[in-house]
Amino acid sequence: MKTIKGPALFLAQFASDEAPFNSWNSITNWAADCGYAGVQVPSWDSRLFDLKLAASSKSYCDEFLGTARENGVEVTELSTHLQGQLVAVHPAYNEAFDAFAAPEVQGNPIARQAWAVDQVKLALTASHNLGIDAHATFSGALAWPFLYPWPQRPPGLIDEAFTELARRWRPILDHAENMGVDVCYEIHPGEDLHDGVTFEMFLEKLGDHSRANMLYDPSHYMLQCLDYLDNLDIYRDRIKMFHVKDAEFNPTGRQGVYSGYQSWVDRSGRFRSLGDGQVDFPAIFSKLAAMDFDGWAVVEWECCLKHPEDGAREGASFVKDHIIRVTEKAFDDFAGGETNAQANRRMLGIGN
């Protein structure tokens, strides 16, 4: 068994133009002061990270890591959630997602998609240069508007969507293999990979590509009424990353999973700061310890009620309290005795 590393913090929700969130030096100092041992880095945020330079310069990467370590934190992973989203965008979402892209490719879906692929590949190269072997991203989506089977879906529609999704991701995954980095898709509503079944559909199209893996976030499973503990047992060999995020689901006679287009505050399913929701984290951390999970416990703050800085500080303490320092011996070793093959056979009554 292995002790999970952590706590770490995903910085995407905190980076801003205001100190201490506006530079790599100051935000890593702040994260360490909150009690974090690691940080997950949004690769698109130039206030914190120069993606192109990191992909081409080992010395920049060494300096980047050195600043973090001087301030008391490790770099756990890079993220391309925004760029990964743009690898596959259904036309219904062209305008909504356009702001995720660089200005020069906005309004041009073909150029935007090529830019997104290049961005993810750059991040995989940068991860290699940083000595990191796992990368966080989204899959994007072509089939999401057809999630509910009304009107009836034409035969072959979903199969074609997943064939195309795999076609777009295969060159990226092959590059990941060359870089020695696992691509960890956050299984998330709004993505074609939003549950176990869709991940398996994608994996089948990729011929079980070894670099196609999962970012496990139980909050997204709770809000789908999916068994997030069973999910750990099923996909233990593909789960390479962990977002620690809480949620609550309180259906009423007026709304359920779909929540009637309401704002986050008024939805039946809401993301909450750690400890304020309903996710069974003691069971999750126990399963991860038992299955030899070798990654970081990364807090992703998303809450419709609590201030982010309070959520961050409380989250560090929450994760520290839940990480299980695994035992190196059995609790009943004191009662054990030396034995051998002959003694075992005698105990079973099967002779010498």
Query: Tell me: the pLDDT tens digits for 22-72?
Result: 999 999 999 999 999 999 999 999 999 999 999 999 999 999 999 999 999
Question: Model confidence over 235-256: pLDDT tens digits?
Answer: 999 999 999 999 999 999 999 9
Residue 47 within a domain: yes
Residue 61 within a domain: yes
Smallest Cα–Cα separation from 246: which of 184, 197, 314? Answer: 314
| Average pLDDT score over residue span 204-223 | 98
Give 3's DSSP letter. P
Q: Are the CB atoms for 127 and 133 separated by under 8 Å?
A: yes
How many domains is the chain built from? Answer: 1
Beta bridge partners of 135: 78, 183
pLDDT-based confidence at residue 332 (cuts at 50, 70, 90): confident
Percent of the chain with pLDDT over 90: 92
Distance of CA 154 to the CA centre of its chain: 32
Locate 161 and state its tokens: 């969507």
DSSP string over 75-100: EEEEEEHHHHHTTSB-GGGHHHHGGG
Residue 352 within a domain: no
| Average pLDDT score over residue span 141-149 | 97
Q: Are the CB atoms for 138 and 81 separated by under 8 Å?
A: yes
pLDDT score recorded for residue 14: 98
Question: Model confidence over 110-134: pLDDT tens digits?
Answer: 999 999 999 999 999 999 999 999 9
Quick one: 56 exposed, middle or buried, by C-beta within 10 A (0-12, 13-18, 19+)?
Answer: middle
pLDDT score recorded for residue 327: 83
| Average pLDDT score over residue span 282-296 | 97
Q: Are the CB atoms for 65 and 75 separated by under 8 Å?
A: yes
pLDDT score recorded for residue 73: 98
Give 141's DSSP letter. B
State the CATH number of the domain containing residue 331: 3.20.20.150
pLDDT-based confidence at residue 352 (cuts at 50, 70, 90): low
Pairing, β 246-249 against β 269-272: antiparallel
**The whole model's pTM is what?**
0.95
Q: Are the CB atoms for 331 and 38 separated by under 8 Å?
A: no
Question: What is the C-alpha to C-alpha distance for residues 7 and 281, in angstroms, rounded to an integer?
Answer: 14
Q: Are the CB atoms for 189 and 183 separated by under 8 Å?
A: no
pLDDT score recorded for residue 148: 96
pLDDT score recorded for residue 341: 86
Residue 222 within a domain: yes
| Average pLDDT score over residue span 224-228 | 98
Give residue 69's domain range. 5-347
Contacts 24+ apart (CB under 8 A), 259-265: 263/304, 264/304, 265/304, 265/305
Residue 106, classed as helix, strand or coil, is coil
How much is the mean pLDDT over the chain? 96
Smallest Cα–Cα separation from 245: which of 268, 277, 269, 211? Answer: 277
pLDDT score recorded for residue 351: 73
Question: What is the C-alpha to C-alpha distance for residues 69 and 63, in angstroms, rounded to an integer?
Answer: 10
